[in-house]
Structure 1
Amino acid sequence: MNVTEYIASGILESYVMGAVSDQERREVECLSAIYPEIRNELDELSKAIENYALLHSLEPPAELKAKLMEQLDFNEQQPAIIRPMPVDRDSAPTYRSTWIVAASVGLLVLIFSFFLLSELRTNQNTMASLRTTNSSLASEVKQLRDHQSQTDQTLALLRQPGTRTLELKGNEKAPNGSMLVFWNARTQQVAVEVQSLPALPADQQYQLWSLVDGRPIDAGVFDATASSQPVQRLNRAIGRADAFAVTVEKRGGSPSPTLSTLLAMTPTSV
């Protein structure tokens, strides 16, 4: 059973107002005993109608009692005159008019109750929308904080004594390629800033290598474009490097470089 659709059908409002058949009443009472969501909705509707009645209740005028007491004189003793009640068939429409007025008042109350319930549902939808917006804002704030943390870490690296900046130029496979490598041998931290490199398919990444005595060592992977974080810190500790090189590898990196995709290389002694 779809509880949400059942609640939205309007049967619960009719139940609270007493405008349902015996079968519908038994059905609502049975389902409310099974599904807590329906029971909670009935409780909320009952509270809403009760609050509406209290909000629109009217106190009788204070001067009404005084007027009644003036008309009732208990000191004068007058003989009671008993007259037979006239039987007049024309008086029947009076009772009928009374019932029509009562029914009209009840209909107005019912209309206002449905209006109140509609407003209640609108407010609930607005609250749900606000919760979603707040959740989205919280997510964006978290991303901004993470970005700020990464920026602070990168600035700390660049400001550390001993941090070197090496420029890598692309070879014939990437003639317009250009990037910077920030490396600190003492802290063994490495970061890169891509200035111009060709975009890669989604299943590929650039990989940085440090060459020590002619042996390539994985220095981490990075992407060609990172607008939210221009300087990308790599997660490899590099204490020694005779040179740095860049190749194109599968996403996530490779244990050994693919020489056929070598795009740039520069010695650290320059």
Structure 2
Amino acid sequence: MNVTEYIASGILESYVMGAVSDQERREVECLSSIYPDIRRELDQLSEVLESYALLHSVEPPASVKTKLLDQLDFGRPVQETIVRPMPVDTTSSPTFRVTWIVAASMGLLLLLFSFFLLSQLRTNQKTMASIRTDNSKMQTEVRQLRDQKTQTDQALAVLRQPGTRTLELRGNEKAPQGNMLVFWNSQTHQVAVQVQSLPPLPADKQYQLWSMVGGKPVDAGVFDSSTAPDMVQRLNRSVNRADAFAVTVEKRGGSPTPTLSTLLALAPVNA
């Protein structure tokens, strides 16, 4: 059962307002005893309804009581009269008519107030759902920023190590504006890249770095075209030897062999 959808259906608000059938009432009571989230939401709605009713409760004017007493003839002297049995039409009695009008008016006001309160509760529920969505998006963004910071710290650690070399790779005719830096440490065998300008790729493609050893390409890891020119990406491959470095476009996750038709850049290490 999807508890979130059940809470958002509005059945709990109707239950609190007493506007559900016996079957729906039994269903809500059963599910609230099984699912703690439904129980908490039900308790919260009950508290909101009670607080709202107390906050907006209005005492009737004192004049209403006086008028009702006058209509009921309270306080007048009782005179002895001869009582004769006769049919009484209660529907035409002023007292009955006034009482019915007052009761109907109070019932109408209570009904309007109930609809207003139900509307407010649903609005608050939508607002809370929106807040939960925003919080979830914010948590996702925070996790992404934390991951980027961790990756950047690891890449900067590579740059600070003694013996790290910096190589500039410029794009060929397929990427004439392409430009990136490769940081390689021949002692620790770690490698990182800094993309300064490379064309963006589709979601199913990635750039792949290759180390050329004796004329043969060796996988050096995949990376993405970064929108931040100062972002350094550490690759997850160890490069023991390298006569040159090259870049190709491959499927996301990398390829065991380079696609030569997508070769964008090539630079020797000892140039």
Length-normalised TM-score, structure 1: 0.69
C-alpha distance in 2 between matches for 1:137 and 1:54 = 36
For residues 117-266 of structure 1, what are the structure 2 equivalents within 5 Å? 117-171=118-172, 174=175, 176-198=177-199, 203-223=204-224, 225-228=225-228, 230-259=231-260, 261-266=262-267
Contact 2:170 2:180 in 1 (8 A): yes
C-alpha distance in 2 between matches for 1:206 and 1:44 = 52
Q: Deviations over 1:138-157 (max 9, x none)?
A: 11111122222222222222
C-alpha distance in 2 between matches for 1:45 and 1:176 = 60
Contact 2:13 2:118 in 1 (8 A): no
Q: Specify every segment of 5 or more residues in structure 1 that has no aligned partner in the other structure, as ranges.
A: 18-23, 62-80
Please state how far the C-alpha of 1:107 moved relative to its aligned partner.
1.8
Please state how far the C-alpha of 1:231 moved relative to its aligned partner.
2.6
C-alpha distance in 1 between matches for 2:135 and 2:8 = 26
Q: CA RMSD in A?
A: 4.1
SS at match of 2:210: strand
Contact 1:49 1:113 in 2 (8 A): no
Structure 2 residue 100 is the aligned partner of structure 1 residue 99: yes
C-alpha distance in 2 between matches for 1:189 and 1:147 = 18
C-alpha distance in 1 between matches for 2:8 and 2:156 = 54
Greater radius of gyration (CA): 1
C-alpha distance in 2 between matches for 1:125 and 1:155 = 45
Please state how far the C-alpha of 1:31 moved relative to its aligned partner.
4.3
Contact 1:13 1:114 in 2 (8 A): no
Letter in 2 for 1:121: R
Give the number of equivalent residue pairs: 243
The 1:137–1:44 alpha-carbon spacing in structure 2 relative to 1, beyond 3 Å, is: closer
Contact 1:45 1:117 in 2 (8 A): no
The 1:102–1:204 alpha-carbon spacing in structure 2 relative to 1, beyond 3 Å, is: closer
1:267 alignment partner in structure 2: 268
Please state how far the C-alpha of 1:57 moved relative to its aligned partner.
6.4
Contact 1:167 1:179 in 2 (8 A): yes
Query: Which of 80, 102, 120 matches 1:83?
Result: 80
Please state how far the C-alpha of 1:258 moved relative to its aligned partner.
4.1
The 1:93–1:238 alpha-carbon spacing in structure 2 relative to 1, beyond 3 Å, is: same
Q: Specify every segment of 5 or more residues in structure 2 that has no aligned partner in the other structure, as ranges.
A: 63-77
Contact 2:15 2:28 in 1 (8 A): no
1:108 alignment partner in structure 2: 109
Please state how far the C-alpha of 1:235 moved relative to its aligned partner.
0.9
SS at match of 1:106: helix
2:74 alignment partner in structure 1: none
C-alpha distance in 1 between matches for 2:16 and 2:215 = 80
C-alpha distance in 2 between matches for 1:186 and 1:132 = 48
C-alpha distance in 1 between matches for 2:149 and 2:143 = 10
C-alpha distance in 2 between matches for 1:85 and 1:50 = 53
The 1:109–1:189 alpha-carbon spacing in structure 2 relative to 1, beyond 3 Å, is: same
Please state how far the C-alpha of 1:236 moved relative to its aligned partner.
0.4
Letter in 2 for 1:83: E
SS at match of 1:208: strand
C-alpha distance in 1 between matches for 2:162 and 2:125 = 58
The 1:222–1:50 alpha-carbon spacing in structure 2 relative to 1, beyond 3 Å, is: closer
Length-normalised TM-score, structure 2: 0.69
SS at match of 1:167: strand
C-alpha distance in 1 between matches for 2:267 and 2:138 = 44
The worse-fitting range, judged by mean Cα deviation, of 162-171 and 259-268 is 259-268
The worse-fitting range, judged by mean Cα deviation, of 162-171 and 195-204 is 195-204
